[in-house]
A and B are shown apart, each in its own frame.
Chain A
Amino acid sequence: MHPIFSDVSRLRTFILLWVPTGAAIGTLPFWRTGGPLDQAWVLVLWGEVLAMPALATWHVTRFVPIRAGRGRVLVTAAIVSLAAAGVWVGAGRLWTQVMAETAPQPAALFGSLAPDAFAAATLVCLLLSAVHYALNEADEGLAAARRVLEAQVAAREAELRALRAQVNPHFLFNCLHSISALTGVDPGAARRMALELAEFFRDSLRAGSQSRIPLADEVALVRRYLDIERVRFGDRLGITVTLQPGVEAVRVPPLLLQPLAENAVRHGISTLVNGGDVSIAIARNGHDVRVRVDNPFDADDRRPGTGVGLANVRSRLAASYGDRAHLCAGAEGNCFTVTLTLPCEEVQA
């Protein structure tokens, strides 16, 4: 959309300014010769019509944006301005000849005064090109700011969703039930669990308020989560977490791995009478970090999961890394595996 027509107030300003400008451009060269002005309306009309080729220069200049370089922009603007002025002068010659019977003066003088009109029209077109560029820049700035804002809102929403998932009511109520149960028989264990739970939520909230946290912190959070679940599941839940030295400082979106651990417990270990191991292995793989979560599950127990957890992780990956990160999930026999590949973003010193 043409930057002047895209906005009503800009269009109003342009028309207000253009009406006297057009009239002046058409008639000025003829004033200098002192000709009779009673036939000037022919020239006023002609001057106003310059608006059309002048505005049309935008259609060419928009293909050569400012970032293409000052030289190319200037050359392009000059060529289109000259062309627009030429078209206008040519149209003026035809117009004055057509109107020669009612207004002989402009037709007679046109030849000698056309060069001045041409120069003035070129100048006006150049000015208008400058206005086009200025307006385009302003529009693009606004659009860029809006995109940044939208990205921020999306990231915030993803974090809120993650936090909401964090405070999974099922997890919270079961933990409170365990604490209530332990209070009677093992007050020390009840207190330990209450403290663990508090630490877990505190860490989650703190992590959630940041855009990236060190992988080591995320892994600590996951460990804490699994330790709490171990109180509920006892020996049914085995935990193996291996973090390759050297990847601790890689920055990741907070609460990215925790939902995977939670899925492994909810849809894996809790479906098995004898439980099993949740295994989390994190290692560098070229320029990427690879996270692999394995858990056994009951393949015969086909109560469907909602898939919300994985979808959530996927959308957070997309929001944080675009297509530089991947998530694969699938079952093989009685083992469910999720593999996460993230680009290495080290802490900046």
Chain B
Amino acid sequence: MTRLRVAIVDDEEPARLVLREYLAEEPGVEIVAECANGFEAVKAVADLAPDLLILDVQMPKLDGFEVLELVGRETSVIFATAFDEFALRAFDVHAVDYLLKPFSKPRFQEALERARERLQAAPPSSPGADAPASARLSPAELAAAARPAGTRPSRIVIRDGADVHVVPIDRVDYVEAQDDYVGIHTGGTVLLKEQTLAALAATLDPRRFVRIHRSFVLNLDRLAKLENRGKETRTAVLRDGRQLPVSRTGYARLQELL
């Protein structure tokens, strides 16, 4: 049996305490990190590449869903929460393993065993085959399912190695598709996030963010004017002077909103 390398993530000391206690009695398990918030968790994943995260849902800075969004492809996750009806529904819908606080040792061992089996069947970073639950599902979909109906995320989280950027939605100027990434333009800087433009656009408020082009989603607040350059060619001029191309369907979408 290979050694299972585990990182514990919970902002409450007693909660970490019980995990430490339960894990200490498990053979073949090594606790590689104890994190008190989401940033530390992302850093621990980047630096130590644990096999498994035991992840609290409600934490300062980054919540459990945001951590999953940032590291979901590299590690397996077991969520732990006390009570959160939306999160529980999302876990059930997406068949994510979770622990309800307080949890017993047998229940914990069960979840650990399942995680071990998943990892042996297909480690998260290896492509194809029978992928584990945390890689099979889209973290964004899970996070969306865990939000109360009709609400949208108020920020975008982006990982840059061990660093995490948190960008409030209203500070986003526009988003640009770049192969498998999106470039998030905010106040003159660009942050790259591994996500498709369509997937990101789906999480944004369609009344504020418009897909003006195959490769661009624009924050309507930043639009200064539309320029007509010959037939069928239009350009969006932003408040800071930058120019973005507008496709025919993009123009139709803009007209609908303006």
The residues of A with any CB-CB pair to B shorter than 8 Å are: 169-170, 172-174, 176-182, 184-185, 231-234, 236, 270-273, 298, 300-304
Contact = CB atoms under 8 A, between A and B. Distances in A.
Interface in B82-113: 82-84, 100-103
A180 B21 CA distance: 11
B17 A177 contact: no
Contact of A177 (B21, B63, B82): B82
B154 A174 contact: no
B14 A170 contact: no
Contacts of B37: 273
B82 A174 contact: yes
B28 interface: no
Nearest to B58: A270
A271 B60 contact: yes
Given A170-B83, A298-B61, A300-B168, A234 B13 contact: yes
B69 interface: no
Contacts of B60: 270-273, 298, 301
B101 A174 contact: yes
Size category of the B interface is 20 to 34
Interface in B38-96: 39, 58, 60-61, 63, 82-84
> At the interface, is chain A mostly helix, strand, loop or mixed?
helix
B12 interface: yes
Contacts of B18: 177, 180-181, 184
Contacts of B83: 169-170, 172-173
B155 interface: yes
Contacts of B237: none
B132 to A, nearest CB: 26
Of listed B13, B58, B154, residue having the most chain A CB within 10 A: B13
Nearest to B39: A273
Interface in B171-187: none
B29 interface: no
B155 A177 contact: no
Contacts of B84: 170
A300 B66 CA distance: 15
A231 B155 CA distance: 31
Contacts of B13: 232, 234
A304 B21 contact: no
Given A172-B83, A181-B21, A234-B13, 18 more contacts: A169-B82, A169-B83, A173-B83, A173-B100, A173-B102, A174-B101, A177-B101, A181-B14, A181-B15, A181-B17, A182-B17, A185-B21, A232-B14, A273-B36, A300-B166, A301-B60, A302-B154, A304-B151
A233 B12 contact: yes
A185 B17 contact: yes
24 contacts: A170-B82, A170-B83, A172-B83, A173-B83, A173-B102, A177-B18, A177-B102, A178-B15, A179-B102, A180-B18, A181-B15, A181-B17, A181-B21, A182-B14, A182-B17, A184-B21, A185-B17, A270-B60, A271-B60, A273-B39, A273-B61, A298-B60, A300-B166, A304-B154
Contact of B101 (A173, A182, A300): A173
Nearest to A303: B154
Contacts of B168: 300, 302
A176 B36 CA distance: 20
